[in-house]
């Protein structure tokens, strides 16, 4: 594999300088970022719709997508795009129904919502839980997968990449949400431009290997020679059904994945919580349009790498130490084929995606710890300056913990040969059905009690674990014709319940259990704390409605063509 050359390092250095100096300029425009906790954590009132939208995408698209989803494109094909395209529709739903509730009730963090809606006990339990989840799963996985990708492209030692990525991210994060939000605009520019360059080289090489020229020719060859990679809905006899179980991606667990991620996730919603409702909605709609574009820059390169692999390329460089094909090497292999200079641009795009996600995640960790744990339980009298300092210390500590875990267990959990994107989605799904059920009923059923909320989070997690390991204890082969019991090639061919279907089952269980608890406790006269919600909050502007209809039309067209 051809590594970075002199011009590539020049291009990358220019990217680094642009981000660093722009961030420094934003940081110094308003010194309140150093003293006001709301300005530091939320950039209250200062992010525009385009900055919010760009920051949402920059924080979402990371090594998990650039490497993991591209690898899934190599193996599964265009179907993995359902995570991106369904997210576009989800963002519209969140903008209409979720964000107005948060803003109307002046909610700035997810634990604050739980405290305001349920009680401090539920809020504190979930604050600690979210901190553990964000650091142990998200921050560590982004850092390790990102370092693995950067190492494979640059030739640098993976441990050096871990420290450099973490250091760059900390520098940006210490400037607060305002710096993160506006530097993310630049990060998204490099991310999209670099991703398009990778797609260009994939299509160009596919055409060239077939004796043709042009991007359109390359795309036509891909759709012909890898036709099985251009179907959005898998049939029950597909070996990939366990990863994306048929219509569940449209009417089942995929909704829970997306609505929980985009609507109940501090890491994401924080970008919009400091803005006005029209600005927040504009940012979410802009992000939805960008989401439609994401498969072009993260999935098509993976499919292109698959076609090139079938034509004899990458047969050595894509093998793991065990001799199996490592799908996570699809994107890095394509990038090494780029011309000098373009390779540096694509490398900058990958780095931008990783750094933006690390910075956003670290800021969310600092926000939850400072405002929901430190301020409430440790030092209730802390002034604004003390809160900001505590937030900065939390950023550094959380990143150090992520570094230590990446070095200690990163390879074991996410090393070569593993389909990183699906792995992360499945294990996040152990908790998302319960959390989403707790938020959904908390929004729209005023008589939902705190005990019902605790049941959803704890009971949902327990049931997820039971359903995951149930096939090891009970013969469920009678469910195979219905798609609820399938062999998983990534798990040695062992039969299991597809995790998206498992999430649907757990969600229904949580809703039913919460309803029973609510009825029992309501009859006993247990008091609840409802939120301020009225129908007028959900009215949208004409421009937002038109934009939403365009997104729905585009999604309908895409699924019709590639069903």
Indicate whether 18 and 116 sit together in one domain. yes
What whole-number percentage of the chain has pLDDT above 90?
Answer: 22
- Which residues are 46's β-sheet partners? none
What local confidence, expressed as pLDDT, does residue 441 receive? 92
pLDDT tens for 153-205 read: 777 888 888 998 888 888 777 666 566 656 666 767 777 777 788 888 889 88
For residue 557, pLDDT over 90 is answered with yes
Does residue 538 lie within any of the structural domains?
no
What local confidence, expressed as pLDDT, does residue 44 receive? 53
User: In sequence order, what are the residues at sequence separation of 6 or more whose Cβ sits closer than 8 angstroms to the Cβ of residue 56?
Assistant: 91, 268, 271, 272, 283, 284, 287
Does residue 537 lie within any of the structural domains?
no
Q: Which residue's entry shows tokens 């799904």?
A: 429
Structure-block tokens of residue 258: 């997306």
What local confidence, expressed as pLDDT, does residue 46 receive? 59
- Could you give the number of structural domains in the chain? 2
Indicate whether 366 and 469 sit together in one domain. no
For residue 362, pLDDT over 80 is answered with yes
pLDDT tens for 69-103 read: 888 888 888 999 999 999 999 999 999 999 998 88
Does residue 276 lie within any of the structural domains?
yes
Does residue 1 lie within any of the structural domains?
no
CB 69 within 8 A of CB 83: yes
pTM of the model: 0.82
- pLDDT band (50, 70, 90) for residue 4: confident
Does residue 117 lie within any of the structural domains?
yes
Mean pLDDT of 195-221: 87
Indicate whether 555 and 406 sit together in one domain. yes
Indicate whether 143 and 198 sit together in one domain. yes
Indicate whether 435 and 393 sit together in one domain. no
How many Cβ atoms from other residues are within 10 Å of residue 475's Cβ?
A: 9
Please report how many Cα atoms fall inside a 13 Å half-sphere around the Cα of residue 386, on the Cβ side: 9
Distance between CA atoms of residues 272 and 49, nearest Å: 9
Q: At what angle do helices 158-173 and 6-29 cross, to 10 degrees?
A: 20
Specify the 3-state DSSP secondary structure of 325. Answer: strand
What local confidence, expressed as pLDDT, does residue 32 receive? 46
Indicate whether 154 and 289 sit together in one domain. yes
Indicate whether 138 and 15 sit together in one domain. yes
Note the Cα 287 to chain centre separation in Å.
13
DSSP-derived secondary structure for 472-485: HHS--GGGGGGTSS
For residue 533, pLDDT over 90 is answered with no
Mean pLDDT of 371-387: 85
Mean pLDDT of 266-275: 72
CB 362 within 8 A of CB 173: yes
CATH number at residue 28: 1.20.1730.10
DSSP-derived secondary structure for 77-142: -GGGGHHHHHHHHHHHHIIIIIHHHHHHTT--SHHHHHHHHT-HHHHHHHHHHHHHHIIIIIIHHH
Query: Which region among 77-91, 130-144, 299-313, 487-501 has the lowest average model confidence (pLDDT)?
Result: 487-501
Does residue 361 lie within any of the structural domains?
yes
Distance between CA atoms of residues 297 and 286, nearest Å: 17
pLDDT tens for 482-509 read: 667 776 666 666 777 888 888 999 999 9
Indicate whether 381 and 497 sit together in one domain. no
For residue 352, pLDDT over 90 is answered with no
pLDDT tens for 20-65 read: 777 677 666 655 444 555 565 555 555 788 888 887 887 777 766 7
Mean pLDDT of 451-474: 86
Indicate whether 328 and 185 sit together in one domain. yes
Q: What is the CA radius of gyration of the chain?
A: 23
Structure-block tokens of residue 326: 């490592």
What local confidence, expressed as pLDDT, does residue 478 receive? 65
CB 81 within 8 A of CB 308: no
pLDDT tens for 223-237 read: 999 898 999 998 887
Indicate whether 509 and 557 sit together in one domain. no
Structure-block tokens of residue 100: 């107005």
Closest CA to 194 of 356, 9, 10, 11: 11
Mean pLDDT of 406-414: 73
Does residue 539 lie within any of the structural domains?
no
What local confidence, expressed as pLDDT, does residue 235 receive? 86
Indicate whether 166 and 281 sit together in one domain. yes
Indicate whether 304 and 208 sit together in one domain. yes
Structure-block tokens of residue 560: 């019709």
Structure-block tokens of residue 277: 């409702």
Distance between CA atoms of residues 423 and 268, nearest Å: 20
For 126-193, give the secondary structure using H, E and C: HHHHHHHHHHHHHHHHHHHHHHHHHHHHHCCCHHHHHHHHHHHHHHHHCCCHHHHHHHHHHHHHHHHH
Q: Which helix (H) or strand (E) holds 234?
A: none
User: In sequence order, what are the residues at sequence separation of 6 or more whose Cβ sits closer than 8 angstroms to the Cβ of residue 449?
Assistant: 118, 517, 518, 521, 522, 526, 528
Distance between CA atoms of residues 137 and 117, nearest Å: 27
Distance between CA atoms of residues 153 and 115, nearest Å: 46
Range of the domain at 368: 6-420+544-561
Closest CA to 345 of 1, 3, 14: 14
User: In sequence order, what are the residues at sequence separation of 6 or more whose Cβ sits closer than 8 angstroms to the Cβ of residue 488?
Assistant: 242, 494, 495, 496
Does residue 237 lie within any of the structural domains?
yes
Please report how many Cα atoms fall inside a 13 Å half-sphere around the Cα of residue 64, on the Cβ side: 26
Q: Which residue's entry shows tokens 């012909």?
A: 224
């Amino acid at each position: 594999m051809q590594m970075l050359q002199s011009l590539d390092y020049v291009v990358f250095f220019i990217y680094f300088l642009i981000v660093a100096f722009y961030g420094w300029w934003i940081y110094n425009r308003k010194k309140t970022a150093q003293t006001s906790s709301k300005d530091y954590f939320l950039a209250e009132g200062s992010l525009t719709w385009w900055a919010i939208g760009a920051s949402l995408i920059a924080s979402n698209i990371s090594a998990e997508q650039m490497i993991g989803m591209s690898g899934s494109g190599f193996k599964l094909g265009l179907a993995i795009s359902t995570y991106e395209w369904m997210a576009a529709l989800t963002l519209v739903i969140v903008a209409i129904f979720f964000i107005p509730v948060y803003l109307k009730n002046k909610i700035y963090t997810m634990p604050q919502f739980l405290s305001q809606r349920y009680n401090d006990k539920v809020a504190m339990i979930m604050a600690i839980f979210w901190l553990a989840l964000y650091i142990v799963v998200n921050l560590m996985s982004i850092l390790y997968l990102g370092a693995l990708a950067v190492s494979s492209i640059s030739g640098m030692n993976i441990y050096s990449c871990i420290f450099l990525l973490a250091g760059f991210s900390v520098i940006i994060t210490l400037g607060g949400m305002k710096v993160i939000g506006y530097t993310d605009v630049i990060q998204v520019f490099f991310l999209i431009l670099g991703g398009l360059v990778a797609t260009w080289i994939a299509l160009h090489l596919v055409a060239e290997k077939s004796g043709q020229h042009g991007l359109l020719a390359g795309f036509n060859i891909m759709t012909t020679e890898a036709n099985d990679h251009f179907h959005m809905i898998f049939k029950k006899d597909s070996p990939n059904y366990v990863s994306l179980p048929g219509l569940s991606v449209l009417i089942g667990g995929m909704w829970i994945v997306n609505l929980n991620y985009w609507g109940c996730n501090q890491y994401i919603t924080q970008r919009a919580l400091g803005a006005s409702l029209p600005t927040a909605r504009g940012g979410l709609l802009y992000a939805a349009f960008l989401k439609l574009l994401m498969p072009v820059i993260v999935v098509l390169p993976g499919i292109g790498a698959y076609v090139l692999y079938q034509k004899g390329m990458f047969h050595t460089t894509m093998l793991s130490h065990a001799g199996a094909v490592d799908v996570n090497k699809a994107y890095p292999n394509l990038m090494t084929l780029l011309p000098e200079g373009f390779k540096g641009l694509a490398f900058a795009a990958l780095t931008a995606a990783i750094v933006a996600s690390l910075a956003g995640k670290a800021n969310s960790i600092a926000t939850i710890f400072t405002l929901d744990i430190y301020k409430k339980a440790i030092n209730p009298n802390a002034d604004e300056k003390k809160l900001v300092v505590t937030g900065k210390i939390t950023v550094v500590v959380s990143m150090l913990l992520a570094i230590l875990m990446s070095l200690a267990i990163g390879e074991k959990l996410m090393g070569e040969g593993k389909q990183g994107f699906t792995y992360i989605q499945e294990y996040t799904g152990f908790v998302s059905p319960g959390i989403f059920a707790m938020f959904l009923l908390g929004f729209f059923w005023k008589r939902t009690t705190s005990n019902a909320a605790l049941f959803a989070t704890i009971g949902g997690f327990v049931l997820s674990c039971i359903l995951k390991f149930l096939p090891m204890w009970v013969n469920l082969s009678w469910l195979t014709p219905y798609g609820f019991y399938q062999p998983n090639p990534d798990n040695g061919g062992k039969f299991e319940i597809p995790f998206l279907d498992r999430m649907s089952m757990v969600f229904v269980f949580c809703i039913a259990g919460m309803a029973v608890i609510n009825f029992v406790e309501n009859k006993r006269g247990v008091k609840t704390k409802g939120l301020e919600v009225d129908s007028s909050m959900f009215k949208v502007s004409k421009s937002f409605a038109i934009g939403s209809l365009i997104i729905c039309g585009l999604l309908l067209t895409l699924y019709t063509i590639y069903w």
